[in-house]
Amino acid sequence: MGLTKYRLGDLINLADERNSSGIYGLADLKGISIKKIFIETKADMTNVSLTPYILVKPDSFAYVTITSRNGEKITIAHNDTENTYIVSSSYNVFYVSRPDLLNSDYLYMYFNRPEFDRYARFNSWGSAREAFSWDDMCDISIDLPPLPVQEKVVAVYNAMLANQRAYESGLEDLNMAIAASIEEFKHTAPRVAVGRLLEEIDTRNRDNAISNVQGININKEFMPSVANLSTTDLTKYKVIRKNQFAYSAMQTGRDECIRIALFHEDEPVIISPAYSVLQVKAESECEALAEYIMLWFSRSESDRYGWFISDSSIRASLELARFYEIEIPLPSLEKQQAVVNFYNARHLIMKNITTVGNMLKELCPILIKGSLEEASA
C-alpha cells in the first residue's frame, strides 16, 4: 500500500463564515480546552455582539494560534457533532478539503498526540506571545496511509469514544436524580448544624511512613500535590483515611467554592498541615453518612453561601468554627442511603470516564504509529 507524503495545507481549507445574521447565540458559543475539546466559554459576554464570531460547522476544526503559557499544548478541537458552534474571531477554523485522501477523525487523532504538541510549540514564533500560525499549520509535512487504513484505526478510536460518551450520558442522569433528591430534602428534612455531625482529627505522619502527598482541586477532588516538597518535612503532614474529609478554610475570589473533599481510597495519604481532617462523629444523636454530607457541599448553592459568609480579607477565609455553624437538611438514614447510592454510582462512573479518557490519550499515538507501520509493510 505504502505511505504518501503531503503538505497539510493541500488537504485543508480555512473557513471564515461569520454569524452575521445572528442565528447562533450564547448556547452555541464555545471555547477550547487544552484537552482538545470544545467547552462552554468562560468569557464575560455581557453586551458583546456575536455577529463577528466564526461558525464551526460539523466536521470542522478550530484552534487557537497562541501556544505560550498553555501547558506546552496547542488548543485545537474537532466538531464531531451535528451542531454548528460559534467561536471567537481570534480562532482559526478549517475543514478537510480532500476527504478522499484524509479522514477528518484521523487528522484529529494526529493532532491529539504529544508529538504534535511538541512540534507546534517548537515551531511557534513570537516574542511576548508565541504563536503557531495558519501558515505554520499548512506547512506541516504529513505521511498518510491509504484511506482504508485510516478508517480502520478511526473505527477503533471511535469505539472507545462511544464508550466514554455512554458513561457521560449515565452521569447526566445520575446528576439529575441527585439534584431532585437534594431539592426534596431542602424542603422536608430538619436542618442540623455541621458541627453536630463532624469532628476534627489530627493524626500526623510522624514515622514518615507515607510519602503520597495530595491536595484538593476546585472540583472538590483529591489530586497529587503541585508544591515543591524536596525540602519539606513530611512528618508534620496530616494523615487522611477513607471516608474522612479534607477541609481548607481558604477561599479565593477566582474559585468561590468551599474547599472540601471526601477521601475514597483504601490506602491513606497525607495532606498539608494547613488543612483540617474531619470525620463523621462516632457518637452523635444525629445519624449522617459522609457521602451525603459531601453531596450537600458539592452543590453550587453551598459554594455561594460559603463564599457569602466568608470574611472579606484579601484571601477570604471560611474558618472551621463558622463552617460548623452551617446547617444542612438531614433526612432519615434510609433516605440518605438512597441518594448516596446515586453518589457512589456517579463516583464509579467518573473514575471510568477518567480511565477511558486516559486510554484515549494513550491510544492516539499508538494507532497512528500502527497505521503508518501497516501502510509501510
**DSSP secondary structure of 10-61:** GTEEEE--B-TT----GGGBEEE-TTSSEEE--S--TT---TTPEEE-TTEE
Q: Same structural domain for residues 219 and 313? A: yes
Same domain, 215 and 322: yes
Handedness of CA 11, 13, 14, 19 (dihedral sign): negative
Question: Tell me, what's the pLDDT at 83?
Answer: 96
Q: Which of 76, 90, 67, 96 is nearest to 8 (CA)?
A: 96
Q: Within this chain, do residues 83 and 203 fall inside the same structural domain, yes or no?
A: no
pLDDT at 164: 84
DSSP string, 164-212: HHHHHHHHHHHHHHHHHHHHHHHHHSPEEEGGGTEEEE--B-TT-----
Which domain covers residue 166, as residue numbers? 146-172+336-377
Question: Last residue of a domain, which of 330, 345, 365?
Answer: 330
- Shared domain check, 319 and 219: yes
Residues 310 and 375 in one domain: no
290 and 165: one domain? Answer: no
Is 185 a member of any domain? no
Q: How far is CA 306 from CA 175, 291, 314, 325, in A?
A: 22, 19, 16, 11
Rounding to the nearest 10 degrees, give the CA dihedral for residues 119, 120, 125, 130.
-130
Cell numbers for 219, please give them.
472540583
pLDDT of residue 197: 95
Closest to 162 (Cα-Cα) out of 77, 84, 39, 80:
80
What's the residue count for the chain?
377
Report if residue 232 sits inside a domain.
yes
| Residue 181 maps to a domain | no
pLDDT of residue 171: 82
Where the chain has pLDDT below 50, the residues are 253-254
Q: Which phi and psi (to 5°) does residue 76 adopt?
A: -145, 145
Same domain assignment for residues 64 and 140: yes
Could you tell me the pTM of the whole model?
Answer: 0.68
CATH number for the domain including 45?
A: 3.90.220.20
Nearest to 286 by CA among 186, 202, 195, 201: 195
Please report the pLDDT score of residue 314 as a whole number: 57
In a domain, 182, yes or no: no
* List of residues 6+ apart from 232 with CB closer than 8 A: none
- Domain identity same for 367 and 318: no
CA gap 11, 346 in Å, rounded: 42
How distant is the alpha carbon of residue 142 from its chain centre? 30
Q: State how many domains the chain has.
A: 3
Q: What pLDDT was estimated at residue 308?
A: 85
Answer yes or no: do 208 and 285 share one domain: yes
* Amino acid identity at 115: E
Say how many Å lie between the first and final Cα of the chain, rounded: 8
